A and B are shown apart, each in its own frame.
Chain A
């Protein structure tokens, strides 16, 4: 896009891109933030500091809106979220401080490597539901267990998690990375909850949204404090993703999700390569 275009073109274009990301993210089952930062960082004239600030609010807004129905359906567990979010938000806070002190070229390079890695992670990850998990001592102390009614299977599912210490370490790290790059980190939350801690997939997906809403809140304050939230960038992004997600949810039943998922992986590979080439000074 032409950097000399009138100012009002950019918020409109940002709204349109965020709307499209909102649709695709729901259809592909990935968090929108992981698409927003590399795409907007690569195609728009905004400095990466403002893009990451908007990326955090983008992910935060989506999860705030989705939280109530997930909690009411029992698919987001407060018991599971509270200890993990505490560690994650400390990591996210630290990550935001570190991220805002790094040079843009280094951030672009690291972002490119991260996005390429996430694309491979999304491509390779398979979900697993294990019902026979024994809670570890810390998990039992924290009551990391619950039940929910799965409407698809029409049955009540009792669940508990294990590997609590590893889970806490994972969420500290995920929060730190999310804070640096302004990502929601749903791409990592769900595998950490499902594959590492053995939470059922639906509980992992639901709780991941609630975790993002808590974890991103702490990093968002750092970006706000430093002046890295520009309303002209943040608000069109928030509105775009919210409307796009609603349309995506409606299209969910009639769209071939595996095709969209492959498309998202290709877009992420391209966006990751673009960020990497910019970071290494190979493209403007």
Chain B
């Protein structure tokens, strides 16, 4: 069977709209807290110019900035709270796919369901950091 495309688009659009608005609002809020100095920074902004011209591997080695999901342990710091808000933007697409998947399964559109599940698996692999490592 083939799922109803306009209904599917509307469902995806609704979740994309809501999730991206929430993501952007959190990004702006977290940035105000960080750049405005309302929260302490793990690496103060005034020190960043010493490091931001370096390759990322060297940057991480010198600053000991948390990588991957480690920011979750340091959300009391403005810069890492902000990084978490940026990461939420990268979670918007998986969220939309996760919402669409049960719908296409319910409509027995196995091909679309397989594509959505495979896409979720790719995004989950990327987000998990298992394959990306920290080089």
Contact = CB atoms under 8 A, between A and B. Distances in A.
Interface stretch (A28-36, A96-104, A109-117, A266-274): A96-104
Contacts of B35: 8, 11, 232
A143 interface: yes
A67 B6 contact: no
Interface in A205-249: 213-214, 217-222, 224-235, 238-239, 242
A257 interface: no
Interface residues of A, number: 65
A136 B20 CA distance: 36
A225 B68 contact: yes
Contacts of B115: 82-83, 86
Contacts of A239: 28, 31
A221 B134 CA distance: 12
A220 B88 CA distance: 11
Contacts of B48: 7, 230, 232
B13 A67 contact: yes
Nearest to B100: A78
A100 B5 contact: no
A153 interface: no
Given A67-B13, A142-B111, A7 B49 contact: yes
A50 B116 contact: no
Count chain B CB atoms within 10 A of each CB in A65, A141, A231 and give the residue with the most.
Answer: A231
Contacts of A16: none
Given A46-B53, A49-B55, A71-B10, A231 B82 contact: yes
B123 to A, nearest CB: 6
Interface in A42-73: 45-47, 49-50, 53, 57, 60-61, 64-65, 67-69, 71-72
A141 B111 CA distance: 9
Given A46-B53, A217-B94, 7 more contacts: A7-B46, A68-B14, A77-B9, A228-B56, A231-B86, A235-B27, A235-B28
22 contacts: A3-B53, A7-B46, A8-B45, A65-B24, A67-B16, A71-B10, A71-B13, A78-B12, A82-B112, A86-B122, A104-B55, A142-B111, A217-B92, A218-B123, A218-B126, A222-B126, A227-B60, A227-B65, A229-B83, A232-B34, A232-B45, A235-B28
